[in-house]
Amino acid sequence: MSKSIILFYSFEGSTKKVAEYLSEELNIPWEQVKPKKDLKSKGFSKYPIGGGQVIMKKKPELEPIQVDLNEYDTIFLGSPIWAGTFAPAIRTVLEDGILKDKNIAFFYTHDGGPGKCKIKIRHAVSINNTLISSYGLAGVKQGLEPLKNGLLEWTKTIKV
């Protein structure tokens, strides 16, 4: 049996809600990825600035991750969707070799649609890791309760 952890970036809290719920249900730890300079979550400017970071394929410098990721085989990797793909902090995690030779179960939260997230995450994960599954959750801001059953069904397809 592989050892698992949840690693995620959350901007306004939706992805964190999912990560905390998964941690409790699966009895595995979580670690939040934090950029050294993150956007402000208030105001309209977050949309053009965050979207611009995605389009420019920016990779923000991250605060140190507090756990030894070498101890884990399977990573539940979570991100909000920005401009049709995963957040820049997750790009840093995947493309800068923070994760290597891991099985990745990717989950994502969105309110406006997933865009081409599944295609883009498959490519980004394949640089250093293996994508074993992905799952999207729409409308977490309105409440996680109606999404829990589908989320748990997804986790049953992943060997943890």
Task: Choose the weakest-confidence range: 43-57, 74-88, 110-124.
Answer: 43-57
pLDDT band with cut points at 50, 70 and 90 for residue 53: low
Residue 116 has pLDDT above 80, yes or no: yes
Q: Average pLDDT for residues 9-32, to the nearest whole number?
A: 95
The pLDDT of residue 1: 44
Which tops the pLDDT comparison, 99 or 58?
Answer: 99
Residue 72's contacts (CB-CB under 8 Å, 6 or more residues apart) are 2, 3, 4, 5, 102
Query: Sorting pLDDT into bands at 50, 70 and 90, what band is 145?
Result: very high
pLDDT (tens digit, 9 = 90+) per residue, 87-113? 899 999 999 989 999 999 999 999 887
Fold exhibited by the domain 4-156: Rossmann fold (3.40.50)
What is the value of pTM for the model shown?
0.90
According to the model, what pLDDT value does residue 32 have? 97
The backbone torsions φ and ψ at residue 95, rounded to the nearest 5 degrees and listed phi first, read -90, -20
Question: Is the per-residue pLDDT at 126 higher than 60?
Answer: yes
23-49 pLDDT, tens per residue? Answer: 999 999 999 999 988 766 565 555 555
Determine the Cα–Cα distance for residues 48 and 65; give it in Å rounded to an integer.
Answer: 28
